[in-house]
A and B are shown apart, each in its own frame.
Chain A
């Protein structure tokens, strides 16, 4: 198999340049789609028959929860690429994702509490969906903590990559927890058999916001990975040129 494209993209100067060119293509759609999705959900979408305006928390809760899973999966794949093919940029991308992933997860958890209190009557329950999402936060934080505890950069890369890969089993557990176990948390609204369980007037702003968050994740990932790639470069002749771009 030809892995040359992977190695080419994995060359630090190439990655740094391409990432720099790609950022606006993620950042601008992100800004527009998130603004449109959130305002639409807040102002135009109709109130819910049972939850009235409390359900509007969904427009920030679901995109953050979706991105927490997406971010972890991409982090584990990037760390795996770094570990298996010894491509340094893979580790750099994983490092770049960890703090952002932790942020999405924390916001998903807290907005979930802010939704749970008025609708379930409690801020927190030890429910499978909530517990696995909390475990996801610990994996993001554990990844960064483990790196911080190992001084040798190569060893830190390998050990943290292993942790990231092991933790990926948690991702399907979060997603399918509401199907497998009897849960307080409501089931999937969008990706479920029989189609979305929401009228289009409520669903569209959610999809727009979620798409915007996905672009946002791309932009932040590239921005942070550029900084990480630059920090890792000690002596490359391209460094002088790049630092000026």
Chain B
């Protein structure tokens, strides 16, 4: 296990690359879902305003 984490001395390069790539994937999913949720709220608000006129 320690050998695996050590990556024959390249631990910093390998683990940083993987952490960065996975972090970017998760961040983009989170942001895309947040965007859609916000767009839905804004759309509902526009609909409600039209109905009240």
Binding site for B on A (CB under 8 A): 34, 38, 42-43, 47, 52-54, 56-57, 60-61, 63-64, 99-100, 103-104, 106-107, 110-111, 114-115, 117-118, 216, 220, 223-224, 226-228, 230-231, 233-235, 239-240, 242-244
Contact = CB atoms under 8 A, between A and B. Distances in A.
A53 B15 CA distance: 11
Interface residues of B, number: 33
Given A111-B20, A223-B33, A231 B13 contact: no
A53 B24 contact: no
Contacts of B38: 227
Interface in B1-27: 4, 7-10, 13-14, 16-18, 20-22, 24-25, 27
B46 A239 contact: yes
A74 to B, nearest CB: 16
Contacts of B17: 57, 60-61, 110-111, 114-115
A-B complex: 6 closest residue pairs judged by Cβ atoms = A60-B21, A227-B39, A243-B43, A53-B7, A230-B39, A54-B10
Given A60-B18, A234-B46, A239-B43, 17 more contacts: A52-B8, A52-B10, A56-B7, A56-B14, A57-B14, A57-B17, A60-B21, A64-B24, A104-B24, A106-B24, A114-B13, A114-B17, A220-B32, A228-B39, A231-B39, A243-B40, A243-B43
B24 A233 contact: no
Contact of B47 (A216, A224, A231, A239): A239
Contacts of B46: 234, 239
B26 to A, nearest CB: 11
Contact of B24 (A52, A57, A103, A118): A103
Tell me whether chain B's interface is mostly helix, strand or loop, or mixed: helix
A89 to B, nearest CB: 15
Contacts of B36: 223-224, 226-227, 230
Nearest to B50: A235
26 contacts: A38-B18, A52-B9, A56-B7, A56-B14, A57-B14, A60-B21, A64-B21, A103-B27, A103-B28, A104-B24, A111-B20, A115-B17, A118-B10, A216-B25, A220-B32, A224-B36, A226-B36, A226-B39, A227-B38, A230-B36, A230-B39, A230-B43, A231-B39, A239-B47, A240-B47, A243-B44
B13 A57 contact: yes
A9 to B, nearest CB: 19
A242 B40 CA distance: 8
A54 B13 contact: yes
Contacts of A115: 13, 17
